Amino acid sequence: SAVISQKPSRDICQRGTSLTIQCQVDSQVTMMFWYRQQPGQSLTLIATANQGSEATYESGFVIDKFPISRPNLTFSTLTVSNMSPEDSSIYLCSVARGNRYEQYFGPGTRLTVT
Amino acid sequence: DAKTTQPPSMDCAEGRAANLPCNHSTISGNEYVYWYRQIHSQGPQYIIHGLKNNETNEMASLIITEDRKSSTLILPHATLRDTAVYYCIVSPNAGKSTFGDGTTLTVKP
């Protein structure tokens, strides 16, 4: 398994500002992922962040809006830029490990944009 | 990734077995079946995965049909703490997962 922490756990932000979410893992992992979960919805993958390479974004998500850093094998950040109320969601990071790359998730960051 | 189909909701009596079905009729030969659950306000939790053989761990059992077109997650003795949304995912072991709507399991006393 993996122990994953996220900061902040929740935040309330004003429209037009940016928030950076941190994800820390207790041991080195190659593959990290960022997901978004809008209220009452399932999880949607934003991007894959592998150390040493640029993040790979899913359809509908762009780097200018969701820049990601992956400076080492235990840490990643996701920035939600120029926020609008539609960005109000839970943002989760996850890592893939194990013999078949099962995923382990952080507790999530609950973001409310007013 | 292959698409999965799950019932939107199920109920189960506390102490009884909970059997959660998943249909994945378009699964490819190299794709695994993964199960996760998400308890309210928490991040998803990995439960179990399998390729074609039945699997069991301390949390659950996974039964995969011989043609691999469907599977069942079994929680042998459901408790109130098992109330959650259960996601069945099919993936070729690439790490990232595509989550559907899942099944909301409600365990009732």
Mean pLDDT of B74-84: 97
Cβ of B43 within 8 Å of Cβ of A105? The answer is yes
Instruction: Compute CA B88 distance to the chain's CA centroid, rounded to the nearest angstrom.
Output: 4
The shortest CB-CB distance from A43 to any of B42, B44, B93 is to B44
**Hey, how many other C-beta atoms are within 10 angstroms of the C-beta on B46?**
20
Cβ contacts below 8 Å, chain A against chain B, sum to 52
Asked whether residue A34 carries a pLDDT value surpassing 70, the answer given is yes
Please tell me the distance from the alpha carbon of residue B53 to that of residue B65, in angstroms, as a whole number. Answer: 9
Asked whether residue A100 carries a pLDDT value surpassing 80, the answer given is no
State the average pLDDT for chain B.
93
Query: Residues A46-58: pLDDT tens digits?
Result: 999 988 888 999 9
Query: Residues B44-68: pLDDT tens digits?
Result: 999 999 999 899 999 999 999 999 9
| Strand partners of residue B38 | B85
State the average pLDDT for chain A.
93
